[in-house]
Amino acid sequence: MREAHEKLFTPRDLAEQGIMSDVKQWQERKAKRLGFYQLGRKIYYSQTHLAAFFASCERKSAETKAA
């Protein structure tokens, strides 16, 4: 459940900041690697979702480099 003080980001927010493109977000959501909230037809990400996703990416990257 979402904490009351967490900021929610829309997919457009992330794309405008250059963090992740809309297509990449859709691919990661579909693969269930990126958590999200769906309110009606709108998608939102919390800071917790993004931190968990980036941590898993960094962990996979480190494992790949070590091998």
Query: Has residue 35 been placed in a domain?
Result: yes
Please indicate, yes or no, if residue 57 is contained in any of the structural domains: yes
Q: What is the mean pLDDT of each run of 10 residues along the chain (67 residues)?
A: 72 88 90 90 91 85 72
pLDDT at residue 5 in the model: 67
- Round to whole Å and give the CA distance between 30 and 4: 26
When divided into structural domains, the chain yields a total of 1
Domain-embedded: residue 22: yes
Residues 28 and 34 sit within 8 Å (Cβ to Cβ): yes
- Asked if the structure places residue 3 within a domain, the reply is no
Length of the chain measured in residues: 67
Range of the domain at 17: 8-66
Please tell me the distance from the alpha carbon of residue 6 to that of residue 60, in angstroms, as a whole number: 26
pTM higher than 0.85: no
